[in-house]
């Protein structure tokens, strides 16, 4: 059998799972290449703990090379061009041919798309979706004693849709333990109707209730227009709000290299929701960069898109790796992603909730919400350890727990 070359772009959740699964399933005659501009994998699901002092930056990241199985080539370079016609990927030093390509490049954060936001980020605003912003937010909170904090979603869609909501709950915990909660107003402003919109209205309503019980002001359907950095003021379609500290999720876009390759239409890469195939032969896309329309609706006439998050990328990667390996090995078996996922919601005070279910159901996603508990918080900690573990045995045990107990059936056989 002639050896095949599988190139994986991006060493986030989806890329790591894809590369490791393929290496486990395929013999050494097949080459697996992973490319990422960063040497380190960052567990961004733990970033809020860094901001509130429960973790250090060093504790939530690890060199990519230490998270890969033997026999995977890792190129620490920025991708300059993807050429689907010639089946090549170019970096500054290499042109790599592929038989299969898996794109898991995540999103590009673009605060410059909002007038005044870039200026605000130089003053009393923090982009808590990148590491520099995480450190800035941590230091700002350490020095914060009274005033108004606004957690702002700049635009839809955005990755990890639980983040602004659980951040508000963690801030409630943080300032309560400091004894100054009464002096701090916490607000969330978002274009969404309810939190975690991709889960449907039932889960969204429960999470909103948790926030309101914590004294968090939830401002839905607020479309951001601009930010006035000099006046610490946000302009929404519904009016203005003032802040003392602004914690921002900037607008998201597909990386430029993906758009230039003709993969994006116009901002994200449309894929088959079951196979994750793109319109190009032997190119798959997984994770935050993928565009997957759900069969269900938020309400009649209002479509839903699959949320962007690591848990989705994880199981999409497993499906893609299994199908590529089976095709290379001449096996007839094929599987599809079943739309199963789960997401922890940190509630503060050592507790976490869990939203879980099936997202490919109609009329809305079939999800349930498990109320916050210390056991679920412990489960999230174990999930964090899983992503940063170098032990294949530990990851194997966690895989079994997640797939057979925690998340249920994430795939189904194609008949």
Q: What is the CATH number of the domain that holds 375?
A: 3.50.50.100
pLDDT of residue 299: 62
- 113 plus 103 within the same structural domain: no
HEC string of the chain equals CCCCEEEEECCCHHHHHHHHHHHHHCCCCCEEEEECCCCEEECHHHHHHHHCCCCCHHHHEEEHHHHCCCCEEEECCCEEEEECCCCEEEECCCEEECCEEEECCCCEECHHHCCCHHHHCCCCEEECCCHHHHHHHHHHHHCCCCEEEEEEECCCCCECCCHHHHHHHHHHHHHHHCCCHHHEEEEEECCCCCCCHHHCHHHHHHHHHHHHHCCCEEECCCCEEEEECCCCEEEECCEEEECCEEEEECCEECCHHHHHCCCCCCCCEECCCCCCECCCCCEEECHHHEECEEEEEEECCEEEECCECHHHHHHHHHHHHHHHHHHHCCCCCCEEECCEEEEEEEEECCEEEEEEEECCCCCCCEEEEEEEEHHHHHHHHHHHHHHCCCCHHHHHHHHHHHHHHHCCCCEEECC
- Supply the angle between the helices 201-213 and 163-177 in degrees, to the nearest 10: 20
- Supply the CATH number for residue 212's domain: 3.50.50.60
CB atoms within 10 A of CB 179: 8
Which of 251, 277, 311 is a domain's end point?
A: 251
CA dihedral defined by 189, 193, 199, 202, rounded to 10 degrees? 120
- 89 plus 118 within the same structural domain: no
pLDDT of residue 239: 95
- 403 plus 265 within the same structural domain: yes
- 71 plus 52 within the same structural domain: yes
Is the separation of the CB atoms in 101 and 87 below 8 Å? yes
- 286 plus 313 within the same structural domain: yes
- 273 plus 404 within the same structural domain: yes
User: Tokens for 28?
Assistant: 């050494």
Range of the domain at 147: 109-251
Which of 211, 231, 251 is a domain's end point?
A: 251
Which of 220, 251, 282 is a domain's end point?
A: 251
- 89 plus 167 within the same structural domain: no
pLDDT averaged per 10 residues in sequence order, the chain, 415 residues: 91 96 96 97 94 96 95 97 97 97 96 97 97 97 98 94 96 98 98 87 92 97 97 96 98 95 91 96 96 76 80 94 97 94 93 92 87 94 86 81 67 86
- 276 plus 213 within the same structural domain: no
User: How far is residue 216's CA from residue 188's CA, in Å, rounded to a whole number?
Assistant: 7
Find tokens 């059936």 and name the residue. Answer: 409
Q: How far apart are the first and last CA of the chain?
A: 27
Is the separation of the CB atoms in 137 and 124 below 8 Å? no
pLDDT of residue 298: 62
User: Tokens for 161?
Assistant: 């849709």
- 222 plus 298 within the same structural domain: no
- 118 plus 182 within the same structural domain: yes
Rg of the Cα trace of the chain? Answer: 21
pLDDT of residue 274: 95
- Which residues contact residue 218 at a Cβ distance below 8 angstroms, ignoring those fewer than 6 apart? 187, 188, 190, 195, 208, 211, 212
pLDDT of residue 301: 61
The total domain count for the chain is 2
- 243 plus 265 within the same structural domain: no
Find tokens 């990422």 and name the residue. Answer: 36
- 325 plus 264 within the same structural domain: yes
User: How far is residue 252's CA from residue 111's CA, in Å, rounded to a whole number?
Assistant: 8
């Amino acid at each position: 059998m002639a050896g095949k070359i599988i190139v994986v772009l991006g060493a986030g959740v989806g890329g790591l799972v894809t590369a490791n699964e393929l290496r486990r399933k395929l013999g050494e005659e097949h080459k697996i290449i992973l490319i990422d501009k960063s040497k380190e994998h960052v567990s961004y699901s733990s970033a809020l703990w860094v901001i509130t002092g429960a973790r250090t930056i060093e504790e939530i990241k690890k060199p990519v090379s230490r998270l890969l199985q033997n026999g995977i080539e890792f190129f620490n370079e920025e991708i300059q061009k993807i050429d689907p016609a010639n089946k090549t990927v170019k970096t500054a030093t290499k042109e790599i041919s592929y038989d299969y390509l898996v794109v898991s490049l995540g999103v590009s954060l673009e605060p410059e798309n909002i007038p005044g936001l870039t200026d605000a980020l130089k003053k009393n605003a923090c982009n808590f979706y990148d590491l520099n912003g995480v450190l800035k937010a941590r230091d700002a909170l350490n020095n914060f004693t009274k005033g108004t904090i606004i957690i702002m979603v700049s635009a839809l869609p955005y990755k990890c849709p639980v983040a602004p909501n659980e951040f508000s709950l963690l801030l409630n915990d943080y300032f309560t333990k400091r004894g100054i909660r009464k002096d701090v107003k916490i607000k969330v402003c978002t274009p969404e109707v309810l939190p975690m919109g991709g889960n449907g209205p039932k889960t969204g309503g429960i999470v909103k209730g948790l926030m309101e019980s914590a004294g968090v002001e939830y401002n839905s359907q607020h479309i951001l227009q601009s930010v006035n950095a000099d006046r610490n003021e946000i302009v929404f379609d519904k009016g203005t709000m003032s802040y003392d500290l602004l914690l921002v999720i900037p607008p998201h876009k597909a990386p430029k290299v993906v758009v230039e390759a003709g993969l994006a239409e116009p901002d994200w890469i449309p894929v088959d929701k079951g196979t994750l195939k793109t319109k190009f032969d032997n190119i798959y896309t997984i994770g935050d960069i993928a565009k997957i329309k759900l069969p269900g609706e938020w309400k009649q006439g209002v479509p839903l898109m699959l949320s962007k998050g690591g848990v989705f990328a994880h199981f999409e990667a497993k499906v893609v790796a299994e199908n590529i390996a089976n095709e290379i090995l001449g096996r007839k078996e094929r599987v599809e992603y079943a739309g199963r996922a789960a997401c922890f919601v940190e509630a503060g005070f050592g507790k976490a909730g869990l939203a879980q279910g099936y997202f490919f159901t109609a009329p809305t996603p079939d999800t349930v919400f498990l109320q916050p508990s210390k056991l679920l918080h412990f489960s999230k900690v174990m999930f964090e350890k899983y992503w940063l573990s170098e032990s294949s045995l530990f990851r194997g045990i966690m895989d079994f727990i997640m797939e057979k107990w925690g998340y249920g059936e994430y795939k189904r056989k194609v008949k």
